[in-house]
Amino acid sequence: MAHGRITGWATHLPERILTNHDLAELVDTSDEWIRERSGIGARHVDGKVTEMSVEAGRDAMAMAGVDPSDVDLLLLATCTSDQQFPASASVVQNELGMSCGAIDLNAACSGFVYGLVTAMQFAEGGVETILVIGSDALSGITDWTDRGTCVLFGDGAGAVVIQRSASTPTLLGWDLMSDGSAASILTCEHGGKIFMNGKEVFRRAVLALEAAATNALERAGVTMDDITLVVPHQANIRIVDAALKRLGIPMDKAAMVLERTGNTSAASIPLAFVDALDKGRVEPGDLVLMVGFGAGMSSAAAVVRWDPPGA
Ligand code: COA
């Protein structure tokens, strides 16, 4: 029986960069405060979900050697679709020249892991080639007068191609969760801007990361010591630090791009993962733990055995 595995990957960031110093001219803040309280130095802004998704998706397919006409399903994780409908996935599908089902999937910042886990189930069910994209343009729904939120968010996209070509499973364990009772602490109405109770999100995020990671590891039948690389959602370095401490994972196992991207929601995990791949931090056979949380409050984790093509 064949299993899904990742055969291509790519990311995209919009051109315009907003540094902490730029923000200090908009609101009463400072580079020092933002770095110390969040670990963020800069973020990319003015992105469009469909445009960023097309760039990342095209490059991931090129890397996998997959023709767009061969893709059987497009899953686009986003909470900032360019329009209410049609799904951004339909726009992306058309622009990339694909002929397949296309759906938006909204699990906020947990979206990419939700998409990856979902795609792997389709692969197990017999679907040959799936394009999974995590893409968000939070800059469009950020209140640029609110210093409590505007320093945190940015735009970006990351894509992976999943092909049903592995002889052994690559998704070893996963956990998807949502606690809708906490929906009001991080929310954005149609046409509105992000509202966030930062302290409460922080507190719950640490616990959600810990629970999701623990469940996924247990289901995979492995321990923290077996994990080579942790790819956490890039929201705040202090959240990652606190969660990894509780899990007993050293910080040097974490893939981090937060300093130059800010929180890019569904794009954050693929951005950090691809960066770690580019730096040669993962060898074939290594176990990678992806773990995220977000509005909902959603949370998601996946333990993946790295099995690139040709390994
Ligand atoms: N620059 C300077 N001062 C700021 C500021 C900024 N950008 N934002 C807030 N402050 C001030 C506050 O007004 C407060 O001042 P006060 O004590 O005079 O009232 C002080 O800094 C401390 O604020 P506080 O909210 O306690 O800071 P914090 O250490 O909790 O950090 C966050 C704030 C938002 C960085 C933090 O709560 C956080 O990261 N929360 C989770 C956010 C998140 O991950 N969201 C996405 C989830 S997917």
Chain segment 108-149, per-residue pLDDT in tens: 999 999 999 999 999 999 999 999 999 999 999 999 999 999
Residue 198 CB–ligand 1 contact under 6 Å: yes
Between the two ends of the chain, the Cα-to-Cα distance in Å is 19
* CB distance 161 to 57 below 8 Å: no
Give the Cβ contact number of residue 233 at 10 Å.
33
Tokens of 38: 């969040």
pLDDT of residue 96: 98
Report residue 172 as tokens.
């070893």
Which of these is catalytic: 106, 150, 233, 236? 233
Sequence length of the chain is: 311
Domains of the chain: 3-166 (3.40.47.10), 171-305 (3.40.47.10)
- What pLDDT shows up at residue 241? 98
Mean local confidence (pLDDT), 48-57: 98
Cβ of 109 closer than 6 Å to ligand 1, yes or no, is yes
Q: What is the pLDDT of residues 152-188, one digit of tens each?
A: 999 999 999 999 998 899 999 999 999 999 999 999 9
Q: Is the pTM of this model over 0.95?
A: yes
Is the pLDDT score of 311 beyond 80? no
Site to substitute for ligand 1 among 184, 202, 264, most atoms within 8 A of C-beta:
202
* pLDDT > 70 in the chain, percent: 100
CB-neighbour burial class of residue 28 (10 A; exposed 0-12, middle 13-18, buried 19+):
exposed
Q: Which of 27, 28, 33, 37 to mutate to test the pocket of ligand 1 (most atoms within 8 A of CB)?
A: 37
Mean pLDDT of 205-224: 98
Residue-wise pLDDT for 6-27, tens only, equals 999 999 999 999 999 999 999 9
